[in-house]
Amino acid sequence: MTTRTNLLDLTPSEAERVLREFAEAHGAGAYRGSQTARHLWTAPVATFEAMTELPAAFRALLAEHFTMPRLELTAQQTSTDGTRKFLFRMHDGQSIETVSIPDDDRVTFCISSQAGCPLACAFCATGAMGFARNLTPSEIAGQVRELALLDPPLRATNIVFMGMGEPLMNWAAVDRVLTILNSPQGFGIGARHITISTVGWLPGIQALAARPEQFRLAISVHAPSDALRATLMPVNIKFPLDDVIAAAADFDRRVTFEYVMLGGVNDQPEHAKMLASLAKRCRAFVNLIPLHPGGSMGFTPTGPSEIGKFARTIRAQGVEVAIRKSRGTDISAACGQLRVERLARGRPATADEDREVEIA
Ligand code: SAH
């Protein structure tokens, strides 16, 4: 038998075309192909067998020619604030994390794009584990599909590529996943509700800018000078701040700066002023992020009142700024932290990790 086609690696329109042609070729009527395609993303089911409106013989035929691979859910945790974190194992034993964050009428999924990460940002748990491999489209979009298959299902209204990995270093797959997430024949999530977070990987920013949809771009700035940024983010040597800011200015939609507050490192008044002037150069909105303590070796979080002061200094320069609410700190729901915790074999959480960081 020839190798089976993984339907979840195709865009919804490709999958529908392939399935309609397949159905016709097997004398089942093209509409059977469209019925099958609906069960990939819009009304997902776990197996071909479960597509019960299709004739049993056709379901068996589908299973002979196609796959819809699952991700194996190996751990999950729920925070006191409702944030849920999932650890999925893939066919080769690699693990990735997905986080679901409810907030009023929104549910944001934080998804992973790589197993590990090659960029080694100094404060990041994923960076510390090194890089294993890029995820395939079905492994990235599959995270959203798996949560939709839970009982009861978890449905995303918003997606952020802020899990493990650098999405723009895996553009070929992420490009496809954006289509799956956004397309009405996919998950139908509005482009403005989908955010790609990047260290400033320039070729990827250009590729994203070339897409016609209004996907959002967030840039992990974390330091307002090349000298400081290079010590925190080695990628700054390849793509210096000036070039990243220029790419952000060229991006035809409003970008967000992410800035993780590292006590005594990047949280002084002069940093706030420099950051504000960078933001002005590309009309960016600044998001200040309290450091998630778990797994961030050697750094201490800036206190809530200092973060407030830092925000006011930025606002005084005429730049919009917000302080991100820390979510799921009791379950280490930051980049790479669940996987790190599992690797540490049940190391008990410290008192610090148990407390929610509260922002005034
Ligand atoms: N590689 C991409 C996306 C993944 S990380 C990027 O760097 O943007 C998503 C965000 O979480 C980034 O802004 C990253 O810097 C931040 N982050 C990593 N470790 C963190 C920690 N310990 N506390 C708070 N934010 C963290």
Indicate the top mutation candidate among 112, 126, 197, 286 to test ligand 1's pocket, ranked by most ligand atoms within 8 A of CB: 197
The rounded Å distance from CA 219 to ligand 1 centre is 10
Query: What number does the ligand 1 atom closest to the CA of 292 have?
Result: 23
**What angle (nearest 5°) sits at the alpha carbon of residue 180, between those of residues 111 and 170?**
55
Pocket lining: 121 vs ligand 1, CB cutoff 6 Å: yes
Are residues 34 and 141 part of one domain? Answer: no
Chosen domain end from 67, 95, 115: 67
The rounded Å distance from CA 124 to ligand 1 centre is 6
Which residue's alpha carbon is nearest to atom 24 within ligand 1?
291
Domain count, the chain: 2
CA distance 291 to 283: 25
Residues 6+ apart with CB under 8 A from 131: 114, 115, 116, 117, 118
Are residues 223 and 122 part of one domain? Answer: yes
Structural domain span for residue 172? 72-342
The rounded Å distance from CA 300 to ligand 1 centre is 15
Q: How confident is the model at residue 329 (pLDDT cuts 50, 70, 90)?
A: confident
Are residues 221 and 321 part of one domain? Answer: yes
Q: How confident is the model at residue 177 (pLDDT cuts 50, 70, 90)?
A: very high
Q: Can you give the length of the chain in residues?
A: 360
pLDDT over 70 at 43, yes or no: yes
Cα dist. 327→82, 232, 289, 334, 358 in Å?
9, 23, 11, 9, 10
Chosen domain end from 22, 37, 67: 67
Residue 97 designated active-site: yes
Pocket lining: 296 vs ligand 1, CB cutoff 6 Å: yes
Are residues 60 and 118 part of one domain? Answer: no
Q: How many CA atoms lie within 13 A of 38 on its CB side?
A: 11
In a domain, 206, yes or no: yes
Are residues 125 and 9 part of one domain? Answer: no
Which residue's alpha carbon is nearest to atom 12 within ligand 1?
220
Token readout for 216 is 């959002």
CATH of the domain at 222: 3.20.20.70
Token readout for 202 is 């320039």
In a domain, 54, yes or no: yes
Are residues 132 and 114 part of one domain? Answer: yes
Chosen domain end from 17, 40, 67: 67
In a domain, 353, yes or no: no
In a domain, 286, yes or no: yes
pLDDT over 70 at 294, yes or no: no
Pocket lining: 339 vs ligand 1, CB cutoff 6 Å: no
Token readout for 224 is 């307002």
In a domain, 102, yes or no: yes
- Sort strands 84-89 and 95-103 into parallel, antiparallel or unpaired: antiparallel
Are residues 82 and 62 part of one domain? Answer: no
DSSP 301: B
Which residue's alpha carbon is nearest to atom 4 within ligand 1?
162
Q: How much is the pLDDT for 10? A: 98
Pocket lining: 198 vs ligand 1, CB cutoff 6 Å: yes
| Cβ-contact 124, 75 below 8 angstroms | no
CA distance 146 to 71: 7
Are residues 94 and 157 part of one domain? Answer: yes
Q: How confident is the model at residue 343 (pLDDT cuts 50, 70, 90)?
A: very low
In a domain, 251, yes or no: yes
Q: Across residues 325-333, what is the average pLDDT?
A: 76
Pocket lining: 220 vs ligand 1, CB cutoff 6 Å: yes
Q: Of 122 and 355, which is predicted with more confidence?
A: 122
In a domain, 85, yes or no: yes
Q: How confident is the model at residue 331 (pLDDT cuts 50, 70, 90)?
A: confident
CATH of the domain at 12: 1.10.150.530
Q: Which of 110, 282, 335, 341 is the catalytic position?
A: 335
Q: Of 101 and 343, which is predicted with more confidence?
A: 101
Q: How much is the pLDDT for 305? A: 97
CA distance 22 to 62: 9
Are residues 120 and 10 part of one domain? Answer: no
The rounded Å distance from CA 162 to ligand 1 centre is 6
Are residues 257 and 137 part of one domain? Answer: yes
CA distance 109 to 345: 26
Pocket lining: 267 vs ligand 1, CB cutoff 6 Å: no
| Cβ-contact 144, 88 below 8 angstroms | no
In a domain, 191, yes or no: yes
Q: How confident is the model at residue 341 (pLDDT cuts 50, 70, 90)?
A: low
CA distance 322 to 343: 34
Q: Using one digit for the tens of pLDDT, what is the confidence trace for 210-227?
A: 999 999 999 999 999 999
Are residues 292 and 275 part of one domain? Answer: yes
Are residues 143 and 59 part of one domain? Answer: no
